[in-house]
Each structure stands twice: as structure tokens, then as C-alpha cells.
Amino acid sequence: MALPLHHVEMEEWIPDRVPQEKVMTAIESPCILVCSIDMKTGFCFGCGRTREEIGAWMGMTPETRRGVMAELPARLETVERRPRRETRRTRMARERDAL
């Protein structure tokens, strides 16, 4: 199962250009903005990375990032999915059915 890749834009200063210019570079990221850690495995429920990997992501080389991304599908198989939060509508229907 291939994970969709998202790109994060990062500002990078180029020191040998005068005046200093900001250059935007795209960085591949598996983040899907579901940022919550499974306490059993230590992996993010959304992307499968560890806290350490998430924190170090911008400083990793592209090769290191690709190596981590290759492991993510197997990691996500081990993450225990969080139950969806019961909505008010669902709760009311459940209570109505219990009567």
C-alpha cells in the first residue's frame, strides 16, 4: 500500500546570495494532519512516524525521509485505530433505540 505524499514548503536562506533571498523548497511529507500518537506503538495515527521522526523531519536528508516513508505502511498496520467519537446525533439515536 503506497502512502500519498504531501509536500511541505520550507523557507531556506541562501547565504551566498546578496541580498539574502528566501528560497522555497518542497519537502515530501506523509503528514495527513491527524497528529496524535498511539501510546502502545509510539506511532502517529495519521502518518505512522514517531515523535522523534516528526520533530527531525525537516532536518533529515531526502534519502533518510524516503527510508522512513518506506516503513510507514507496515507501521500503520500495527497502530490500533482510535474509535470515532460519538456524535450528538449518534448518541440521541442510540438512546432513542434503547427506549
- How far is the C-alpha of 27 from the C-alpha of 7, rounded, in Å? 5
Between the alpha carbon of residue 63 and those of residues 3, 9, 28, the distances in Å are: 17, 18, 11
pLDDT digit string, tens, across residues 2-44: 555 555 555 454 555 555 555 666 788 999 888 889 889 999 9
Give the whole-number percent of the chain exceeding pLDDT 90: 38
- How far is the C-alpha of 46 from the C-alpha of 39, rounded, in Å? 13
- Per-residue confidence (pLDDT) for residue 10, from 0 to 100: 52
- Per-residue confidence (pLDDT) for residue 60, from 0 to 100: 94
- Name the average pLDDT for the chain: 79
- Per-residue confidence (pLDDT) for residue 26, from 0 to 100: 76
Who wins on pLDDT, 20 or 91?
Answer: 91
